[in-house]
Each structure stands twice: as structure tokens, then as C-alpha cells.
Amino acid sequence: MFGVPYKTLYWAEGKVDESALMEEHRFVYASTFAPDKFRRYVRIPFDPNGTPGERVSWQQ
């Protein structure tokens, strides 16, 4: 959403598969933002070679 890649800290009994963590990220953002905003602005997983999203006003 803000063009910032990050890793998740998690507490578990053992290693958690990265794809499972990615789905958790997707769930959190998808349940926080309206569907149209999620599809338009959120990129999970982050693509370091992707083009930046459009610039929008913070008032949106």
C-alpha cells in the first residue's frame, strides 16, 4: 500500500510457511479496507520490480 516491503514477526511453536503468513497479511488488509481500495492499492505479496502505484490524495 505504501510501497514498503516488510517481514512479519510471529510467535509460533515452529517455523510457519511463508505462504501462510502472506495469506494472513492479505486477510488483515482485505478485512480493513473497502474491497475497491484493497484491489486498487494493496499489493500482497510486494513486488520489488513492480511499478509504483498511482499517487492519491491523503483525503481519499
8-53 residue pLDDT tens: 777 888 888 988 888 988 898 899 989 998 888 888 887 888 887 7
Number of domains making up the chain = 1
**CB-hemisphere CA count at 13 Å for 49?**
0
Q: How far is CA 6 from CA 2, 31, 60, in A?
A: 11, 19, 24
Instruction: Say if residue 60's pLDDT is above 70.
Output: no
Do residues 22 and 44 lie in contact, with contact meaning Cβ atoms separated by under 8 Å?
yes
Establish if 39 belongs to a structural domain.
Answer: yes
For position 3, what pLDDT does the model report?
59
For position 41, what pLDDT does the model report?
82
Instruction: Say if residue 5's pLDDT is above 70.
Output: no
Establish if 34 belongs to a structural domain.
Answer: yes
Establish if 24 belongs to a structural domain.
Answer: yes
**Whole domain around residue 29: which residue ranges?**
16-47
User: Taking the model in full, what pTM does it have?
Assistant: 0.63
| Contacting residues for 3 by C-beta, under 8 A, at least 6 apart | 52, 53
